[in-house]
Amino acid sequence: MIDVVSSPLLSPSTEKVLTTTSIGASGLGMRHYTSGVLVLTREVGETIVIGNNVRVTVVGVRGDQARIGIDAPREVPVHRLEVFEELQAANRAAAQVPNDLDVLRDLPKK
């Protein structure tokens, strides 16, 4: 089965083609974008597992907002996309070397 889907998570002008795959004897259907974005339908209280140690549970749904709980080890960073993008931009800015290294000459000497 192939579906064409638009998602608010993707660029508004982007449509992705989905394929449906069944897993195991339970016939659990998984839909995934051919680009690698996995789309699952879950109900409140249901959980998905990422890797061996990250669990994402649907805690509640109200209108067009879903509340999710994420259980992950401390060493696995978990951020909202907008926070992650800000962190990445700050890291890129901090890693840039100034074009004019003469500013180092003006620093106080110890």
pTM above 0.75, yes or no: no
pLDDT, tens only, 19-77? 433 344 344 445 544 567 778 889 999 999 999 999 999 999 999 999 999 999 999 99
pLDDT of residue 12 exceeding 50, the answer is no
Whether the CB-CB separation of 6 and 14 falls below 8 Å is answered with yes
Q: For residue 20, what pLDDT is reported?
A: 39
Q: For residue 59, what pLDDT is reported?
A: 95
* Residue with the two structure tokens 């620093």: 107
Q: For residue 35, what pLDDT is reported?
A: 63
50: left (phi over 0), alpha (psi -120 to 50) or beta: beta
User: How large is the average pLDDT for residues 80-96?
Assistant: 92
Q: Which residues, listed in sequence order, are joined to residue 43 by a DSSP beta bridge?
A: none
pLDDT of residue 94 exceeding 50, the answer is yes
* Residue with the two structure tokens 């051919």: 34
